[in-house]
């Protein structure tokens, strides 16, 4: 089922989300929510979706950067962003336990700020600890665009939006990004 995506201004996007208990994680309700969030993310289309974005202040996010989304992007753009396919993942009660010193800056958008983008600095590398959909502890290391997705979704779980981290003078509509910024990015 497709869920409604909350837009900037909705208070749930600014609340710290609460952790899920072991009982909640294995419940049919959370299993259904995970599937509905995956369907909603695919339909949007997006590469990540956090529970607050669908109105629930829970520490739950799904991510997936599907191969089909990458096919429409030029190879040099994918290489510059270090963007590659990421399989579907469920992150419950995630936390960034280490961030690399190196920062990278790219335009970033959000399903909860539909129609806009801005340049956002993010750590190039992160280590994240989380629970999977079975409640099992996991750890992962990510770099490039994958690390950006993780940081973006984990920010949502703390009530933070990319506009809190952006270079404010780069905030733009998607139409103007295509008109003015995309040609610059292709040339660099």
Domains of the chain: 11-187 (3.90.45.10)
Q: What is the pLDDT of residue 99?
A: 96
Average pLDDT value for residue range 129-151: 98
pLDDT tens by residue, 32-43 = 999 999 999 999
Q: Which of 77-86, 111-120, 174-183 has the lowest mean pLDDT?
A: 174-183
The CA distance from 67 to 110, in Å, is: 19
Q: What is the pLDDT of residue 179?
A: 85
The CA distance from 86 to 64, in Å, is: 5
What does each C-alpha distance from 47 to 23, 39, 124, 153, 177 come to in angstroms?
A: 27, 11, 18, 10, 19
Q: Give the catalytic positions in this structure.
A: 153
Q: Are strands 86-99 and 103-109 parallel, antiparallel or unpaired?
A: unpaired
What is the Cβ-side half-sphere exposure of residue 121, based on CA atoms within 13 angstroms?
8
161, pLDDT greater than 90: yes
Q: Are strands 60-65 and 48-50 parallel, antiparallel or unpaired?
A: antiparallel
């Amino acid at each position: 089922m497709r869920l409604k995506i909350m837009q900037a201004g909705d208070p749930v996007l600014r609340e710290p989300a609460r952790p899920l208990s072991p009982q909640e994680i294995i419940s049919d309700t959370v299993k259904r929510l995970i599937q509905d969030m995956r369907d909603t993310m695919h339909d949007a289309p997006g590469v990540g979706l956090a529970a607050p974005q669908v109105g629930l202040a829970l520490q739950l996010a799904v991510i997936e950067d599907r191969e089909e989304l990458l096919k429409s992007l030029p190879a040099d753009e994918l290489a510059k962003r270090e963007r590659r396919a990421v399989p579907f993942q469920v992150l419950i009660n995630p936390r960034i336990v280490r961030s690399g010193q190196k920062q990278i800056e790219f335009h970033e958008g959000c399903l909860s700020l539909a129609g806009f983008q801005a340049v956002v600095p993010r750590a190039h590398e992160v280590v994240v600890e989380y629970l999977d959909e079975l409640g099992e502890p996991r750890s992962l290391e990510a770099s490039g665009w994958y690390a950006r997705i993780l940081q973006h979704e984990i920010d949502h779980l703390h009530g933070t939006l990319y506009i809190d981290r952006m270079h404010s003078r780069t905030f733009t509509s998607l139409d103007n990004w295509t008109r003015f910024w995309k040609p610059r990015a292709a040339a660099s």
